[in-house]
Amino acid sequence: MNFFEIVNPHLASLTDNERTLFDFVIKHMNAIKGMSIREVAAETFVSTATFIRFVKKIGFSGYSEFITVIKYTDLDQQQDVEPKPFVVNQKDYREEYLKNIQESVRVIRPETLHRITRKMSEHPDIFFFTKGISKHAAEYINYLYTMAGFKVHYPRDSDYRTMAMAQVNANSLVFIMTYDGNDGELLSMMNKFVEQPKKPLLVSVTEADNNMIQNLSDINLYIFTDDVKINNQDISSRISTIAIMELILYQWMEDYGE
């Protein structure tokens, strides 16, 4: 009984106001599990009746089940003490570092690459949407694709991302690059793209765990990396993201370049 598996089929039908409520829930799940419906409604500036309608629309019978599933989802994540194959805590990071890059590239199927490069051969507007530490990798990726002659859009903060979204159309190629595949802002963005009458080709680059951005994408590419923090800050490698995006560009050069 996982929160994300329950709500995912209902996301495309949410209104703008309901997406705002959903973003709040995603960002404050840990706090919400200890709050009453009146407290949550007050925090989101809606009536309790409105929040109940929202809860039912995303797949729950009522507020009680909604809270219970959030608690179980959080408990499952805390009790998952077995190291996952895509997040490995090792003392010898050098060997694991190289394995992660190799695995991220190895699992991409050739037909997936060709599907992306076919779209690139049409020379669409290419959009890079990303946040957090992935933004630093995106700077280099933006440089590569720009030098290759593509019309690239890389909005670097929330306001610019909002403006760039209005420029996305059916002919666009959109890359969502985020290790956390459940980011509220990027999820809201994905939902709007999916709802467009003629949506763009959506390619996400996320962690290898099941996540909501992955499920909304036309194509999802996985990155494998060690979970590394220093001074409570995430410094997990994004080299795998760069490797994947370089591979796509080099495949385009092989397929369609001079």
Q: What letter represents residue 97's amino acid?
A: Y
Instruction: Give every CB contact of residue 95 below 8 A, 6+ residues apart in sequence.
Output: none
pLDDT for the residue 81: 44
pLDDT for the residue 129: 97
CB-based contact 43:51 (threshold 8 Å): no
DSSP secondary structure of 2-48: -HHHHHGGGGGG--HHHHHHHHHHHHTHHHHTT--HHHHHHHHTS-H
> What is the rounded CA–CA span in Å between residue 119 and residue 132?
27
Instruction: Return the structure tokens found at 100.
Output: 């992660």
Q: For residue 141, give the nearest of 49, 65, 248 by alpha carbon.
A: 248
Helix (H, G, I), strand (E, B) or coil at 222: strand
> What is the rounded CA–CA span in Å between residue 258 and residue 248?
16
The model's pLDDT over 167-188, given as tens digits with 9 standing for 90+, comes to: 999 999 999 999 888 888 898 8
Instruction: Return the structure tokens found at 63.
Output: 């507020």
Instruction: Return the structure tokens found at 121.
Output: 């051969």
pLDDT for the residue 72: 80
pLDDT for the residue 75: 60
> What is the rounded CA–CA span in Å between residue 89 and residue 84?
9
pLDDT for the residue 85: 45
pLDDT for the residue 92: 64
Q: Which fold has domain 3-79?
A: Arc Repressor Mutant, subunit A (1.10.10)
pLDDT lower than 70: segments of the chain: 1, 74-93, 258
pLDDT for the residue 219: 93
> What is the rounded CA–CA span in Å between residue 24 and residue 184?
8
pLDDT for the residue 10: 83
pLDDT for the residue 78: 53
pLDDT for the residue 79: 53
Torsion region of 123: left, alpha or beta (phi above 0 gives left; psi -120 to 50 gives alpha) = left
Q: In angstroms, what is the C-alpha Rg of the chain? A: 19
Segments making up each domain of the chain, as ranges: 3-79, 93-256
- Can 3-79 and 93-256 be said to share one CATH topology? no
pLDDT for the residue 15: 87
Instruction: Count other Cβ atoms within 10 Å, centred on residue 47.
Output: 12
pLDDT for the residue 139: 96
Q: Which CATH superfamily is domain 93-256 in?
A: Glucose-6-phosphate isomerase like protein; domain 1 (3.40.50.10490)
